[in-house]
C-alpha cells in the first residue's frame, strides 16, 4: 500500500484512513458533512497526490494529445487547462482527465488515480505508434509529484499571501508556474472539483512538507480544514461532476454521459472514435446520464434501479447521496432516453420501496 508525501500529517490529524487506488488515503477527519460545509463556506485542503501526471514533450506532443482526447487541443493557449476524456476505440471512455498546455511542445496530462496504469499503457501504445520515445517524449511523473487542492471561496485569498505574483484574479481553468512559500517553482492552477472555487498546487515530493505547513498556516485565519475523500465525493456530486468508474466507464460514451460539450467535431480534431461518436450524436443515444432530485425521503445509491410510473426498469443509479448543502437526496444515473426529459417524474427502488424523484438540470448546487 502506497502513502502520499502528506501521509504523516493525516495521521497526526486523526484522519480515518482507508485504501483507495493503491494508496492509504484520508476518508474523513471531523466528519463528511462538517468538511463539506467548510469548503462551501470557507476553505479546505485536499491531498490529491494519488492522481497521475504524464508529461508529453517535443514536436510530436500536440499531435498525440489531439488524437487521444475528445476536446480540441488546438483551442488551448499557454497557461490554459482543458477538461477532456480518452475515448477507448470502442465507443467507451478510458478515463477523463485534464490537459495543461505549457507551450506548443509541452503538455501535462492529469489522470485519475485508479486509472494511472491503464492510462499510461494506453498513452504509451499510441505514443510509440506515432514515433515518440517513452521516457523522453512521454514521461510518467506520477510517483514524483505531490499535489494539494485548496478549495472554497476563501482559498485564493489565503494562498495569495504565499505567492510573489497575483493569483486571486486568475481565470477558471488556467495555471501559472510560480514560486510559492519559498518553493522555487510550483504549478499553480485554478480548476477544482468542488464548484466552490480555489486552486491546485503541484510540487516535488521533497517540497511536500513545506507546502503542507505553509498552506495550513496561511489558511489558519480563514478557518482552513483538512478534507477527506468522502467530502470530495459529496461536493463533486452536488455540482453534477462525473466520477470515473461510476458515472462514466469503459462501457459509456461521452455523448450518452453528457460530455458532448468536451467532444469537439471540428476540422483537424481527428480523435479516436470520432466517426462513431459523431454518428451517435446524430442518431441520439438510447440512454442519457441525468441528474435527479429526490421528492420524498430517501438516499439513492450506486446500482439502485430507476423505474417509471408503471414499475418498469428504465435505468440505473450511478451516484447518489444526501447533499449536505441542500439537505436533500440527489443522484445521477443512466435513464432510457424516452424517459429522460427534464422535469419528468421517475422512481428510485430503495430496498422494498419506490421513492419519487424528478429529473433536473445540473448542477444541483447553484
Q: What is the mean pLDDT of residues 55-65?
A: 98
Task: Give me 224's grid cell.
Answer: 482552513
Pairing of strands 313-323, 305-307: antiparallel
Phi, psi of 341 (to 5 degrees): -70, 145
Element (H or E) spanning 218, and its range?
Answer: helix 208-219
What confidence category does residue 184 fall into, taking pLDDT thresholds of 50, 70 and 90? Answer: very high
Closest CA to 215 of 193, 174, 186: 186
Cβ distance 297 to 350 under 8 Å?
no
* pLDDT at res. 32: 98
pTM, whole model, 2 decimals? 0.97
Residue labelled with grid coordinates 510559492: 180
The Cα–Cα gap between 50 and 61 comes to 24
For residue 52, the model assigns a pLDDT of 98
Per the CB < 8 A criterion, the answer to whether 11 and 19 are in contact is no
Digit-coded pLDDT (tens) for 245-281 = 999 999 999 999 999 999 999 999 999 999 999 999 9
Are the beta carbons of 307 and 275 closer than 8 angstroms?
A: no
pLDDT in tens, 116-168: 999 999 999 999 999 999 999 999 999 999 999 999 999 999 999 999 899 99
What domains lie within the chain, and their CATH numbers? 1-285 (3.30.1360.120), 286-360 (2.40.30.110)
Amino acid at each position: 500500500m502506497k502513502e502520499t508525501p502528506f501521509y504523516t500529517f493525516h495521521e497526526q490529524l486523526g484522519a480515518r484512513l482507508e485504501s483507495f487506488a493503491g494508496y492509504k488515503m484520508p476518508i474523513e477527519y471531523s466528519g463528511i458533512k462538517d468538511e463539506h460545509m467548510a469548503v462551501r463556506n470557507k476553505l479546505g485542503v485536499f491531498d490529491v497526490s494519488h492522481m497521475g501526471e504524464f508529461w508529453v514533450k517535443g514536436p510530436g506532443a500536440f499531435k498525440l494529445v489531439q488524437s487521444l482526447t475528445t476536446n480540441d487541443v488546438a483551442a488551448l493557449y499557454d497557461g490554459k487547462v482543458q477538461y477532456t476524456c480518452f475515448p477507448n476505440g470502442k465507443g467507451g471512455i478510458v478515463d477523463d482527465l485534464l490537459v495543461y498546455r505549457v507551450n506548443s511542445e509541452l503538455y501535462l496530462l492529469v489522470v485519475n488515480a485508479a486509472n494511472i496504469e491503464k492510462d499510461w499503457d494506453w498513452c504509451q501504445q499510441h505514443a510509440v505508434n506515432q514515433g515518440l520515445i517513452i521516457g523522453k517524449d512521454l514521461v510518467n511523473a506520477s510517483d514524483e509529484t505531490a499535489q494539494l487542492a485548496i478549495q472554497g471561496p476563501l482559498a485564493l485569498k489565503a494562498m495569495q499571501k504565499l505567492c510573489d505574483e497575483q493569483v486571486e484574479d486568475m481565470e477558471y481553468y488556467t495555471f501559472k508556474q510560480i514560486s510559492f512559500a519559498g518553493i522555487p517553482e510550483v504549478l499553480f492552477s485554478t480548476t477544482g472539483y468542488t464548484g466552490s472555487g480555489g486552486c491546485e498546487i503541484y510540487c516535488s515530493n521533497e517540497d511536500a512538507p513545506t507546502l503542507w505547513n505553509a498552506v495550513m498556516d496561511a489558511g489558519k485565519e480563514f478557518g482552513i480544514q483538512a478534507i477527506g475523500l468522502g467530502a470530495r465525493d459529496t461536493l463533486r456530486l452536488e455540482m453534477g461532476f462525473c466520477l470515473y468508474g461510476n458515472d462514466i466507464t469503459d462501457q459509456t460514451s461521452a455523448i450518452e454521459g453528457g460530455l458532448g460539450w468536451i467532444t469537439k467535431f471540428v476540422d483537424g480534431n481527428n480523435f479516436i472514435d470520432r466517426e462513431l461518436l459523431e454518428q451517435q450524436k446524430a442518431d441520439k443515444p438510447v440512454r442519457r446520464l441525468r441528474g435527479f432530485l429526490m421528492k420524498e425521503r430517501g438516499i439513492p445509491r450506486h446500482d439502485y434501479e430507476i423505474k417509471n410510473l408503471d414499475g418498469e426498469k428504465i435505468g440505473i443509479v450511478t451516484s447518489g447521496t444526501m447533499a449536505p448543502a441542500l439537505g436533500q437526496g440527489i443522484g445521477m444515473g443512466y435513464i432510457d432516453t424516452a424517459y429522460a426529459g427534464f422535469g419528468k417524474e421517475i422512481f428510485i427502488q430503495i430496498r422494498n420501496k419506490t421513492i419519487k424523484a424528478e429529473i433536473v438540470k445540473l448542477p444541483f448546487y447553484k
